Amino acid sequence: MYTTNASRGLPRHRSRYPAERYTRWALRGLVAALVLALLWLVLAFHLNGQPIFALLFLVLGAALGVVFTRRTLMSHRYIFPAVASMALFVIFPLLYTVGISFSNYSSSNLLSEERVRAQLLSRTYQEESATFGFQLYSSDEGVRLYLEREGAPSTTGEAEAELEEALEGVSRFVTGPMSLQDSERRHVAIQPAEGEPVGVPLAMREVIAYRTALQNLVLATPEGLELRMAGLRHYAPMLDRYEARDDGSLYDRRDDLLLTADGETGFFVTEVGERITPGWPVAVGLDNYARIFLDPDIRGPFIQIFVWTFAFAGLTVLFTLIVGFVLASLLQWDQLRGKALYRTLLILPYAVPAFISILIFKGMFNQHFGEINLILDALFGVRPNWFTDPWLARSMLLIVNTWLGYPYMLLLCMGLIQSIPRDLYEASAVDGGGPLTNLFQITLPLIIKPLTPLLIACFAFNFNNFVLIALLTGGNPDILGASTPAGTTDLLVSYTYRIAFQDAGQNFGLAAAIATLIFLLVAGLALLNLRLAKVRV
């Protein structure tokens, strides 16, 4: 092997060819533009309060800058794009997932603390202590809404006092003439009134007819106070529900409660410990892992799914290997004609896109009109419930997966059997060895060693065979009594996916904890594989 000047860090001469010089400058410009774009992203993420993503792109931008300016790293320029995309889309998500597993990130703890605070502060409530009865007065110009205060002003709480101040003692308001045909949400100004406006008051029946339009009216006083409909006969003022205090707590003006931010759970809580949703994600340590192993409602289904995942992957490897090996041995037989045609037809299941063939099987196994049940019904008079009985559903998965996977094993075995020297079989035949002796004394011992790493890879693939489960059974039928969505045919991956994306709670933290456990398992398999395969670099 030779080493180029550039990768030894020696200076590169100015090129004799103008075209090459321009290309070099264009490339430098491109790198500079990329670095600038990444830095812009860093700034954007930083200002948006997302330090992790800012850090990610900072590292990426810095690495890009360093690799493409230092001459000693010339060789690394060639691998940088691939390594960077792996870092961004494989390694970063992996680390991020592990990170999430130590938090309570979920659909109820999704936004940052500032966003939660802002959301709570924008909430309003209807102040019931000051209600206004209303009447609609119809005239030629349109309908006027006339409000008259009911009940005496109260001054018991802070919120009430503020309200009275905003009303300035006015107890009658009226709108300008308007049309109530349009029921879009809109703001309408109201003015203090001396008495009832001109026109005829509408009867209750007609008021009810305008109900949708009235519900969507927001009446605004000159002081900026907003009133909304509260029941069929009343309007009431809308007030900000929460008020920020200097010590970071929130004051609930409707219920007179003090809410403090709880850094342990990521919620605002009242003095009695009641949580206000939404919350924000906080670190919870090993809680998610503890739940997997200690909470009986999660541990039960988890162990069941864990065992089934291993059984599924192991049995799939076994079945596909047996079918593939037998077929490969047959196709290796010299006397057999038409091997090429057989081979092509036999690998057809591999050539059809999996997402299509899985769906074909989903239709064929359908209990009512699927062809498999029609045939079984005609032959034996049974119509098994392939999708609702756990054991039948599992058998169906294994049948379909064997169909999908045996061509791969067939190809592997054919390649390996071909590499066995033919003289061995000749010698065996001379010594009177039959096919079984050949199989157990020659073929199997010779192919098992190179086959093992490939079998492990196949096991790992089926261990995480998400597409099959998602398209065929969706994990159903469900395990009874589980607190998370868990099915009897779920593999660990599809279980994780359902916790994260299908559950009403969207418990990302718990899903990430299970994902982390699978990562560890897969990493173990990968290392084992690497060792067995003796990968030379």
Partner 1 sequence: MAMVQPRSLRWRKLAAHLALIGFLVLILFPLLLVISISFREGNFATGSLIPERFSLEHWSLALGIPWERADGTVVQPPFPVLLWLWNSVKVALVSSLLIVLLSTTSAYAFARMRFAGKGPILKSMLIFQMFPAVLSLVALYALFDRLGQFVGWLGINTHGALIVASLGAVALHIWTIKGYFESIDGSLEEAAMVDGASTWQAFRYILLPLSLPILMVVFILAFVMSIMEYPMASVLLVDEHKLTLAVGAQQYLADHNQRWGNFAAAAVLSGLPITVAFLICQRWIIGGLTAGGVKG
Q: How far is the CB of 181 from partner 1 (least distance, A)?
A: 34
- In angstroms, give the least distance from the CB of 351 to partner 1: 4
What CA–CA distances, in Å, run from 40 to 34, 88, 93, 121, 409? 10, 17, 21, 31, 49
Choose among 205, 141, 203: nearest CA to 174. Answer: 141
276 versus 521: smaller Cβ distance to partner 1: 521
Provide the minimum distance between the beta carbon of 517 and partner 1 in the complex, in angstroms, as a whole number. Answer: 10
Integer angstrom CA distances of residue 442 from 13, 185, 332, 425, 434: 61, 82, 14, 8, 11
- Residues ≥6 apart with Cβ < 8 Å to 158: 253
Nearer of residues 82 and 272 to partner 1, judged by Cβ: 82
121 versus 352: smaller Cβ distance to partner 1: 352
Which is nearer to partner 1, 202 or 454 (by Cβ)? 454
Distance between CA 471 and CA 406 in Å, rounded? Answer: 19
Element (H, E) at 422: helix 422-430
Eight-class DSSP state of 283: B
CB of 97 to partner 1, least distance (A): 5
Best CA proximity match to 303, nearest among 312, 293, 315, 318: 293
Query: Please, what's the b/e burial string for 314-337 (b: 16 or more CB within 10 A of its CB; e: otherwise)?
Result: ebbbebbbebbbebbbebbeeeee
By beta-carbon proximity to partner 1, the closer residue of 286 and 522 is: 522
Between 294 and 527, CB nearer to partner 1: 527
Query: For residue 231, what is the DSSP state?
Result: S
Minimal distance, residue 138 CB to partner 1, in Å:
46
Smaller CB separation from partner 1, 126 or 494: 494
Radius of gyration of the chain (CA): 36
Question: Smallest distance, Å, CB 493 to partner 1?
Answer: 5
Residues paired with residue 192 on neighbouring β-strands, in sequence order: 173
The nearest distance, CB 384 to partner 1, in angstroms, is 17
**CA–centroid distance for 503 within its chain:** 11
Smallest gap from Cβ 8 to partner 1, in A, equals 9
The CA-based angle 486-489-494, given to 5 degrees, is: 60
Q: Which is nearer to partner 1, 32 or 533 (CB)?
A: 533
